[in-house]
Amino acid sequence: MPTFVYKALNLQGQEVSDSFEAPNRKTVIERLTALSLTPVSIVSQDETAGHGRHLSLHVTKADVENFTRELANLLAAGVPLSKALNILAREATREGAKKQWQSIHDLVSEGTSLADAMAQFPKTFPSVNVAMVRAGETGGFLDLVLKQIADFRTREQELLGKVRSALVYPIILAVMATGILIFLLTFFIPKFSTMFVEFGGALPPLTQAIVATSDFVIKYWLVLLVLVVGVVVFIQRSLSQEQGRRSMERIFLKTPMLGTAIGQFALVRFCRMLGTLVQSGVPLITGLRTAKEAIGNEVLAETVTDAIEKVQRGQSLARSLGDCPELFPASVVAMISVAEESGRLDDELVRLANAYEQQLDRHLKIMVTMAEPAMLFIMAVLVGTVVIGMLLPIFNLQELIR
């Protein structure tokens, strides 16, 4: 008898997980219902073992977007889900995508829900997308949800593209500054320091400090390299742990300008996801839980958790979100309050997402505009300090020769 691993929500909305043996998935659902649990995912360990080998196959974001959009079009045209999945698997051009779509088709053909089948490929389908598919299957509007997922992913990639583009030039300047500084310390300064030693005499304090730094870098470059690699590894390991990741997120949120950009980015993702879900007919509580996962920042997501509990107790959405000033400014709360009263919450949330996306774009441009002269100033200070320090003895060349 196969063993099924499940995740479910209890009456308090808390997630519980466990596993037990059952003849089929239907029996698992019946047993969970008897325990007053709402199934979130049910995965057979046998299925996981059979299809786990495909988890490492690479699937691009473009593949996933095409998959969801084409699947939505096929379902809207009346094509059965199993046949639509078979068509997509057959027409996929990449080997990784072909095998994953085929695995999903096989699972669905065996009676697995589309959401549970997609959940077995977490690197391909984020949990927030799986939750949306599950809501679409439950509500009978799967084609609409899939189309909205594809649209959401498109907008998300556009937004991420803007963020990356904004960071390109400052990063290039930082790399150039580091490269120039290393060149000066390891090649330029030793040439001059040898000349100063031949002349004799006392060097200015700034020159002495620069020469000492150059000697240290040349002598202990391997130790410095190991130290840098160690710091990078330490940061990566810290970010892989929840406590370290939260600490880093808090530091970023408190950083001027950067914290504002992170908050606006999270707000855009939350409003767009919640608005999309509400437009699709997903219940507000379910939509809030799903949209919380789209925030992408655990510190900010914690504030939304408290708001969800207040909404469950009957408090209005605007009033609940008003207790999260770190993520929701007073102006946003006021507009959500008006939208709730007028019955157009879904449209207002999408409008807010569009408005704050434009505001985020402007904020990023300001950051880049300020970062460029700041990086140039830092480069000028570093290079200028080295050059001046090495030219000072030349001004006193007569004294050095004596």
pLDDT of residue 382: 84
Averages of pLDDT over each 10 residues, the chain, 402 residues: 75 74 74 76 59 56 87 89 90 85 86 83 80 76 81 76 76 84 84 68 78 87 90 83 79 83 85 81 80 78 83 87 83 89 87 87 81 82 83 66 52
Angle between helices 205-219 and 221-240 (to 10 degrees): 70
pLDDT of residue 229: 92
pLDDT of residue 13: 62
Nearest Cα to Cα of residue 181 among 140, 142, 224: 224
Whole-number Å distance between alpha carbons of 5 and 157: 33
Listed as own residue / partner, the contacts of 44-53 with beta carbons closer than 8 Å and 24 or more positions apart are 44/2, 44/3, 44/4, 44/5, 45/2, 45/3, 45/4, 45/5, 45/19, 46/2, 46/3, 47/107, 47/110, 47/112, 47/120, 48/5, 48/120, 51/103, 51/106, 51/107, 51/120, 52/120
* CATH fold of 1-54: Ubiquitin-like (UB roll) (3.10.20)
pLDDT of residue 248: 81
Whole-prediction pTM value? Answer: 0.63
pLDDT of residue 52: 44
What is residue 296's three-state secondary structure? coil
Contact by Cβ (8 Å): 289, 274: no
Domain spanning 150-402: which CATH class is it, in words? mainly alpha
Domain ranges of the chain: 1-54, 150-402
Cα–Cα distances (Å) from 250 to 3, 23, 51, 258, 357, in that order, read 41, 47, 38, 11, 22
pLDDT of residue 341: 86
User: What residue type is assigned to position 89 of the chain?
Assistant: A
Q: Phi first, then psi: give them for residue 242, nearest 5 degrees.
A: -60, -45
